[in-house]
Structure 1
């Protein structure tokens, strides 16, 4: 039997139904393996234990037969594999629980594996966006906020731009086709920011003008 932990959401990834005139342009989530590499240091951890295993085998081979020296490296290899599985498991949970949304009016982020929170970022509160892409096409799209809007780095990690702690920049981390998503964001944000506003004159003002 399947179970949806977010069945209560009226719209996937958003805490409430979209108001009239707003529609979804794109939705996505981080790629788990890429998130493990980009945000949780999977590659560095795997490399560290690989070097440690080779070092242990090399040292042991100086005083025992090579076959026995290989056995001395097995514990380090096993611990390294367990550490990598743990990191991937954490990344998988973070990716599974995260939903990134672009509408014609805002950026939405439902994040958090244990403590779920939703960020709503109107385009008018986003001053700039930075894109960091990898050869695979995955990338991170970070949003630089303007005004007094602030978010906790620890509460929003790993869905933030790395090392920008003084003023946290929420980010779409490790998303596929990052260039395409950035283009959708740029077009929607520009249209929203420069959208003409029509102010209706009150009836009293209209009568006075006559």
Structure 2
């Protein structure tokens, strides 16, 4: 029987139903294999074990025949395979538990495999966004927060811009079609920030409590 770990969510990826004036414009999640490469350095781990195996074969070949020396490198290659599978498995679990959401008012991130939490990032709290896309279209969109908003790098990793620890930048990591998603974000944020703010004048500023738009 299929079991949905997030059945309690009124809207997928969000902790509560959206207000009447808010709607979803995009939802997505990291690509597991790409997340393993980006966050867990999968390619570097594989390369490390391959180099160890080559080194071991080279050392052994000085004392034993090459065919026997090649066998000495097999355990290291098997160790690298196990390590790679573990990293891919962890990335799959993280990707499965993650939902990135863009609405017309905010960016949201439901993250965490063991301890799930949802980050709500209103566009008014985002100063700039940086996008990095690869040839295959996947990439990262990192959000630079303004004001007093602070996030823990360790609590939100790997859904952050790498190495930005002093001012943690939450990020959509390893998403497909990153450039298109960035364009959707830019359009929604610009529209949201250009909306007039409506305030009520007091008696000294205007007669009869008139309403003014800033």
TM-score higher than 0.5 here?
yes
Q: Distance in 2 between matches of 1:151 and 1:161?
A: 12
Q: CA deviation at 1:196?
A: 1.4
What residue is the counterpart of 2:30 in the other structure? 30
SS state of the match for residue 34, structure 1? helix
Residues of 1 paired with 2:76 and 2:197: CA distance? 64
Q: Secondary structure at the residue paired with 2:192?
A: helix
2:179 corresponding residue in structure 1: 179
Aligned residues: 209
User: In structure 1, what is the equivalent of residue 124 of structure 2?
Assistant: 124
**Which residue does 1:56 correspond to in 2?**
56
Give the TM-score of the pair, scaled to structure 2.
Answer: 0.93
Mind listing any 5+ residue stretches in structure 2 that lack a counterpart?
none
Query: What's the secondary structure of 1:120's corresponding residue?
Result: strand
Aligned to 1:144: 144
Measured on the aligned residues, the alpha-carbon RMSD in Å equals 1.7
Q: Cα offset for 1:206?
A: 5.2
SS where residue 85 of structure 1 aligns? Answer: helix
Name the residue aligned to 1:134: 134
Mapping for residues 76-87 of structure 1, pairs under 5 Å: 76-87=76-87
Tell me the CA shift for residue 63 of structure 1.
1.4
Unmatched segments (≥5 aa) in structure 1: none
Q: TM-score, normalised by structure 1?
A: 0.95
